């Protein structure tokens, strides 16, 4: 750990928004449309299970591609079920996921208030998501809290993907600070690994995603949700 903290980079799904509320309907729809395109609607549950969602238990499998992969990795998991490459189904599957994930949703807390408080402390704010740039833009479009953001990126923004260090490095370059001044907050092991790979100053995990505490053990701290992050960051930001 190092200080002082001058910026905070948030993951989006499972961090700003409850993971299952956003993604379970989106993944169900994507698997349904993929199975329908194969002419095998009966495969829907098998596709979901292969990608990391246990339909019977309504639970995500830790480390699976549905938790932290992108659309191409999810389609590769689908292909493993059928044993057939279908590159033509990537774009339509991604379109279904984008459509569903861009629907209005409630954040885990009042983001306008939280981001406003963090900005009032002089912190720069960013979002780094494994969702697409277009899907992120659709969510930000009508959000009052987007005015607080200094940086946003998706998996297709050209900064690489998690758990690589590129998204943190790009944020650091954008605000002219070292990665060691950035606190990364996320719900997945990939967020924590990204923070470590980039040399971020703090790696904060939250419990609003599908990963149990045992999968987040490499974080500096595990918080119930981002609302508790302000106190933590304030402590380290003052050092
Ligand atoms: Mg997440």
128 pLDDT more than 50: yes
Q: 61, 81, 101: which is the final residue of a domain?
A: 101
CATH of residue 13's domain is 3.40.50.1000
- pLDDT tens digit string along 101-120? 777 778 999 999 999 999 99
Is 141 domain-assigned? yes
- Angle, in degrees to the nearest 10, between helices 44-51 and 71-82: 120
Whether 171 and 227 share a structural domain: yes
Whether 224 and 168 share a structural domain: yes
CA separation (Å) from 228 to 70, 109, 110, 155, 205? 28, 10, 12, 27, 11
Whether 95 and 150 share a structural domain: no
Q: Ligand 1 centre and the CA of 128: distance in Å?
A: 9
CA dist., res. 7 & res. 196, Å (int)? 16
Q: Ligand 1 centre and the CA of 34: distance in Å?
A: 23
Q: Ligand 1 centre and the CA of 5: distance in Å?
A: 22
DSSP β-ladder status, 182-186 and 202-206: parallel
Q: 60, 85, 101: which is the final residue of a domain?
A: 101
- pLDDT tens digit string along 60-74? 988 899 987 889 999
What per-residue confidence (pLDDT) applies to 2?
54
- Name the average pLDDT for the chain: 92
Q: Ligand 1 centre and the CA of 22: distance in Å?
A: 11
Stronger pLDDT, 192 or 19, i.e. the higher one: 192
Q: Ligand 1 centre and the CA of 91: distance in Å?
A: 22
Whether 54 and 118 share a structural domain: no
124 pLDDT more than 60: yes
Q: Ligand 1 centre and the CA of 215: distance in Å?
A: 13
**In terms of pTM, does the model score above 0.85?**
no
In percent, how much of the chain has pLDDT > 70? 97
Whether 51 and 126 share a structural domain: no
Stronger pLDDT, 68 or 187, i.e. the higher one: 187
Is 71 domain-assigned? yes
When mean pLDDT is compared across 57-71, 72-86, 133-147, 183-197, the lowest value belongs to 57-71
Q: Ligand 1 centre and the CA of 40: distance in Å?
A: 30
Whether 110 and 183 share a structural domain: yes
Picking from 108, 110, 125, 112, the residue whose alpha carbon sits closest to that of residue 233 is: 125
Q: Ligand 1 centre and the CA of 39: distance in Å?
A: 32
Q: Are 218 and 193 in contact (CB under 8 A)?
A: yes
Q: Ligand 1 centre and the CA of 35: distance in Å?
A: 26
SS3 158: coil
Whether 119 and 201 share a structural domain: yes
What per-residue confidence (pLDDT) applies to 1?
47
Q: 73, 101, 129: which is the final residue of a domain?
A: 101
Whether 81 and 114 share a structural domain: no
Beta partners for residue 17, in sequence order: 13, 107
Q: Give the range of the structural domain holding residue 80, as residue numbers without chain letter.
A: 20-101
Token couple for 106 = 């409630």
Q: Are 207 and 226 in contact (CB under 8 A)?
A: no
CB atoms within 10 A of CB 140: 15
Q: Ligand 1 centre and the CA of 131: distance in Å?
A: 9
Structural domains of the chain, count: 2
- Helix and strand numbers, DSSP H then E, in the chain: 10, 8
What per-residue confidence (pLDDT) applies to 231?
86
Whether 35 and 127 share a structural domain: no
Is 73 domain-assigned? yes
Stronger pLDDT, 164 or 63, i.e. the higher one: 164
Q: Ligand 1 centre and the CA of 222: distance in Å?
A: 14
What per-residue confidence (pLDDT) applies to 238?
53
Stronger pLDDT, 70 or 15, i.e. the higher one: 15
What per-residue confidence (pLDDT) applies to 103?
77
CA dist., res. 3 & res. 235, Å (int)? 10
Residues 6+ apart with CB under 8 A from 170: 151, 153, 157, 159
Ligand 1 (ion): residues with CB under 5 Å are: 11, 13-14, 187-188
What per-residue confidence (pLDDT) applies to 178?
97
């Amino acid at each position: 750990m190092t200080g002082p903290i001058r910026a905070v980079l948030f993951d989006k799904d499972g961090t700003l928004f409850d993971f299952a509320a956003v993604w379970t309907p989106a993944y169900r729809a994507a698997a349904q449309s993929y199975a329908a395109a194969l002419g095998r609607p009966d495969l829907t549950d098998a596709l979901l299970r292969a990608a990391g969602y246990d339909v019977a238990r309504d639970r995500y499998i830790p480390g699976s591609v549905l938790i932290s992969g992108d659309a191409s990795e999810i389609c590769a998991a689908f292909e493993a079920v059928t044993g057939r490459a279908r590159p033509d189904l990537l774009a339509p599957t991604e379109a279904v996921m984008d459509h569903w994930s861009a629907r209005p949703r409630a954040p885990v807390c009042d983001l306008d208030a939280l981001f406003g408080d963090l900005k009032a402390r002089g912190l720069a704010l960013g979002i780094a998501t494994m969702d697409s740039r277009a899907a992120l833009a659709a969510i930000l479009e009508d959000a009052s809290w987007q005015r607080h953001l200094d940086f946003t990126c998706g998996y297709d923004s050209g900064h690489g993907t998690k758990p690589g260090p590129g998204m943190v490095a790009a944020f650091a370059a954008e605000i002219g600070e070292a990665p060691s001044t950035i606190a990364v907050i996320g719900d997945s092991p990939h967020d924590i690994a990204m923070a470590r790979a980039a040399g971020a100053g703090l790696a904060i995990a939250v419990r609003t995603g599908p990963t149990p505490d045992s999968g987040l053990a490499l974080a500096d701290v595990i918080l119930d949700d981002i609302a508790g992050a302000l106190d933590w960051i304030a402590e380290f930001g003052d050092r």
